[in-house]
Amino acid sequence: MVASDPRSGPVPIPLRRGAARPRELLLISRAVEAKQPSGDPKSLVDRYSALFIALAAALWAADAYFRPALVKDGLSSSQIVLVEDLLISLCFLPMARGVVRELRRASWKSWLALAIIAAGPQAFATVLFTRSLSYATTPGAESEVYLLYLLQPVFGLGMSWLILRERRGASFWPLAAVALAGAALIVTAQIPGAPTGALLAAVFVVGAVVLWAAGTVLGRLALHDVSFTTTTAMRFTLALPILFVLLLTSSGGHSPLAGYTAGELPAFLGIALIPGFLALLLYYRALSSTPASVSTLAELGYPAALFLVFSLPAPYGFAAPLRPQEIVGAVLLAISVTTMNLLKGRGQLVTLRGRSGLSAEPETV
């Protein structure tokens, strides 16, 4: 093997015994290149993670087809959420070995985050939200319940800064304002005047919204150490004993299992499989590639999809009139979340600081 010297021409370079010859090196190089994925190595979900979070949030709107009917059947909020949680936990039985294997390697921070997610965003928040529906009986109250969901990004942005040390770029804030304005146009279109819902319903919803915002931030923290499958499975499994205690303490001396009927099984399967199992798996998969600040705004896809469900004709929806204001709001929300996703991919939206425990060095996403 030789190298060129500008003064004296080619200079021989001795090869070590057993070293690869130029032809062998070329073949090795081609073999390595063949194993490399072509184009962007990220998956479709990673590249469009903010949009997939919005899709998962839209699936949560399917809850409106099932949960209110169970409330009207006279079941308590604890009874509904316990069975829902149990059915979702059973869906993770085929994945139990992998989940246990991951948990053995998980750090105490991840265990703490998973435990808080199960207790707060899953157990208490879902019970609070279900309880609010039983109080939302006055005119405008049901719309007020979903209007208060708009507070989630406010709490989520604050917690993502406090816990994850996320720093938003200059382009983030105008897009956040457009997303909030779009969601507000969608939700307020259904309210003819000032909200007139029961105070207790509002209190329960605000409590649920705060806990859900915390769940977004803590979910992002847990996903640094465990997979999205384990995060989703532990959210429901760890919540089971808490929900059972809540059911026992709220039964008022009556049998906690009284009131269930076989006719309620389709509704329970509906809330367990669509807004529960499928939506949360997709949500945590996309959250692993999305800053919590962006996710908390993409989750506004939930009230947007919910009011679309309200506007669909029977039997697919509730035949509420679809107003131009709602269409404008949906367009604004879609544009802002899509633009956030594009800027996220170029590293121009949010910076994660190492003090959050997610990474040792600052990382731009």
pLDDT digits (tens, 9 = 90+) for 175-223: 888 888 887 787 666 554 434 445 677 778 888 989 999 999 999 999 9
Label residue 351 by pLDDT band (50, 70, 90).
Answer: low
State the pLDDT confidence band at 6, using cuts at 50, 70 and 90: very low
pLDDT of the residue at 21: 53
What is the per-residue pLDDT for 256? 74
The pLDDT, as a whole number, for residue 326 is: 77
| Structure confidence at residue 231 as a pLDDT band (50, 70, 90) | very high
Q: What is the pLDDT of residue 193?
A: 44
pLDDT value, residue 281: 96
Tell me if 216 sits within 8 A of 158, measured CB to CB: no
Give me the pLDDT at residue 143, please.
57
Query: What does the pLDDT average to over 43-69?
Result: 91
Q: Above 60 in pLDDT, residue 28?
A: no
pLDDT of residue 330: 82
Q: Which of 21-30, 219-228, 313-322, 332-341 has the highest mean pLDDT?
A: 219-228
Average pLDDT of the chain is 79
Domain boundaries, the chain: 61-364
Most confident of 129-133, 294-298, 320-324: 294-298
What global pTM score does this model have? 0.78
Lowest mean per-residue pLDDT among 109-118, 138-147, 271-280: 138-147
Mean pLDDT of 168-175: 80
